[in-house]
Amino acid sequence: MWSVVLTLTLLLERFASALPVSTAVDLFQEIATTAPDHRFPIIVDHPLQPLGMSKSVISTSTIPTNNFYTNLFLGSRQQPAYLYPYSVWWSQGTNSDYGLAISHTTASQRVFGPNPSANPVEYYYNPVGICSVSFSAAEFDAGMTMSLGSPTAFAVNVTMAPSTSKYGHGRSLYIPLVQGTGFITGIYFNLRPRFNSLVGFQSLTEKTSPRNGIKKYVAKLYDGTSWAIYANVPNGQTFSLSRQSSSSIIASKDVYNVIVQIAKIVDGSESAYDAHAGKYAYHARVYGSAVGSVGTATINYWTLQANNAGNLLLWLLPHHVASMKKGALGFSIDSLSRGKMYAFSTNQIVLQEELPTGIQFEPWTSIPGQKATYTSNALKLITSAAASEIAEDFNAQTNLNSMYYAGKALDKFAMICYVAHSILKNAVMTANCLNKLKQSFALFANNKEIYPLYYDKTYKGIVSSAGILTGSSMADFGATYYNDHHFHYGYHIHTAAVIGYIDTALGGTWVKENKEYVNTLIRDVANPSDADPYFPFSRSFSWFHGHSMAKGLFESADGKDEESSSEDYHHAYAVKLWGQVSGDQSMEARGAMMLAVMRRAMNAYMLMNNTNTIQPQNFIGNKVSGILFENKADHTTYFGTDIQYIQGVHMLPITPASSYIRSPTFVGEEWNSLLSGVAPTLTDGWKGILYANLALYNPKSSYAFFSSSKFSRNYLDPGASLTWYLAYAAGVGGATS
């Protein structure tokens, strides 16, 4: 039933979106709807199959791999889905509770450590497993099942059913999990509703009905919190709840098609809950357009039933609120790791941003008054560096057993080629560099690298074969299991954009010849349309959270995470540039819109200046979040705890997009408080990264470092070149002589 509703609505909206809409550019125009070509061998069954999904669901769906509910089909299936501001999980018998457990924790419950008195603290997290209320049924026991259907970017349908051997077929609890909705909704079919609590029910009180056909109860828990329970009861049925024990509330009898909605009561919320009870969301989809330099993306929630308010009650994150013109209800609730969420009466979340249309290939800075200073001495130094680096063996540095490291190296040489062409304007040097780079890139475009890419028919994506051929799920940073795809492919896409930019300027046809390959990588990480049946919509970037999630098919108690904001926005920047050189206006505008949304979200949650009021005040001194999980923020990395690693992984690579995201104020605070005493002591590639980042705040000091006669190439990591660092620092005002 619900899949039919979803399918029909999709068809109607696709038709509507095809109608002419003035001269606006559609941000979400599909790239292609054809299968990836024969260069990608097919994996029929991924080594890790999604649990709880039927063969029909798997074959007909494009299953998201990097979003909020993947814990529900991985491993034990008991880890939380982070349905902001709540967390929910399949309770399989904890304290005799069977069903979908619901938890909400407040800022006062956060755990700070390892020294909670430190400022800044290293990490904070929210306790997990505190079941305040669960959706259950008298028929649920150890034989119950949980299946998943209609998996999309914003929602998944959960169906819980009792043992068929004991109760037969036709009994189920349907729960649409939709990100950001004010109520968690469950619909009972031929079951006797039960609601359990690990915290314990102190009392249950029936309240005045807010609407004909809706019954209202308030359960007060022993921790002092109260939860509203609304039941939308069809005509001809009766429904009542009673407190069976301190851990259980139960309905008087079996019911059919009774819609129950649960929400935690916070200050000022109860009357708004009354007004919004009855209507629920079962799906959401994002639409958008760009008109000139203004982009608008709207997350549209699809609803069923009715309420007094006429809209849904939605919880919005801080970066959403700036674009919302109306609907604020005046109260908030704590989120898990992204500050407070604010209640709105609306069926849409509107994101409107000024697009960074001026940020293209050339060095760019947000420092007021700065401009390129390519003095004769600067050009001499850049030419010398470029001549030396173009002479290097490109293939030896790029033909690697890692898409990530290969991409970094390819991108390094791409920026050297760009400098030779656009800044030095040296035709001989450009031709030499470009020919070598094309040859190295062709190995990947022909899928002849050490670990070729495969097309996976289970999750519908382009994956590294490294995990299959080595038998390790963490080979190439877990790429076979969808970890970090936007980081990896972002470097390759940006390389292609630079090659295409230069080649087109020289009259070549390289873009046309390589378009399908590059577009396929983009379809994997940033597919803009659910009309494409071969890839999920926006695998990496979350249009709800405003940034990407790097973790793929790995069970995690703290949910999805990301540790490199910079490689995230680098992939969006790459999409924007490839759209530009390939003539895809929708892609170019979409990449720009992603950057604009990231700028707002990342500076709220990941990059914390001294005036940040969203993250805890005893955490913002870290300046970067480190690894930002859905349930935790940890000022560390997966590869080490040195300060240059933690800060630097949020810097690399330095490109024209860096200064757009990382403001001079932020970079200055970070440098002066954490890095100015560390950077001079370093002797490896992290030193170059820190000083290149310094150009976003103090380009003259950055340029002085890279132009010094004492500079050592040991200060360059494998993805960096002296050519680009000199050209960038000078290009944003760093050269004075």
Shortest CA distance to 573 belongs to which of 519, 517, 493?
A: 493
The set of residues, in sequence order, having a beta carbon less than 8 Å from that of 511 and lying 6+ positions away, is 500, 503, 504, 581, 582
Distances (CA, A) of 163 to 18, 144, 172, 253: 45, 5, 10, 19
**Residues annotated catalytic, as ranges:** 484, 563, 567
Distances (CA, A) of 449 to 258, 390, 446, 464, 525: 56, 22, 8, 10, 20
Beta strands (DSSP E) in 324-472 are: 328-334, 340-345, 348-354, 453-456, 461-464
User: Distance (Å, rounded) from C-alpha 586 to C-alpha 531?
Assistant: 15
Shortest CA distance to 399 belongs to which of 387, 407, 391?
A: 407
The set of residues, in sequence order, having a beta carbon less than 8 Å from that of 423 and lying 6+ positions away, is 362, 374, 379, 382, 727, 731
Question: Residue 709: is it exposed, middle or buried by C-beta count within 10 angstroms (0-12/13-18/19+)?
Answer: exposed
User: Distance (Å, rounded) from C-alpha 336 to C-alpha 40?
Assistant: 40
CB 488 within 8 A of CB 479: yes
User: Distance (Å, rounded) from C-alpha 667 to C-alpha 501?
Assistant: 30
- Residue 175 three-state SS: strand
The string of DSSP letters for 65-84 reads SSSTTGGGGSTTS-SPEEET
User: Distance (Å, rounded) from C-alpha 607 to C-alpha 133?
Assistant: 35
Structure tokens at 455: 């097309």
For residues 525, 528, 532 and 535, what is the CA-based torsion angle, rounded to 10 degrees?
A: 20
User: Distance (Å, rounded) from C-alpha 39 to C-alpha 452?
Assistant: 9
User: Distance (Å, rounded) from C-alpha 703 to C-alpha 693?
Assistant: 11
CB 493 within 8 A of CB 567: no
β-strand pairing of 42-43 with 453-456: parallel
User: Distance (Å, rounded) from C-alpha 312 to C-alpha 491?
Assistant: 40
User: Distance (Å, rounded) from C-alpha 370 to C-alpha 659?
Assistant: 12
Long-range CB contacts (< 8 A, 24+ apart) of 69-73? 69/148, 69/151, 69/156, 69/177, 70/552, 70/553, 70/560, 71/555, 71/556, 71/559, 72/146, 72/148, 72/156, 72/158, 73/148
Shortest CA distance to 351 belongs to which of 318, 394, 310?
A: 318
Q: Which residue do the tokens 């909400």 mark?
A: 104
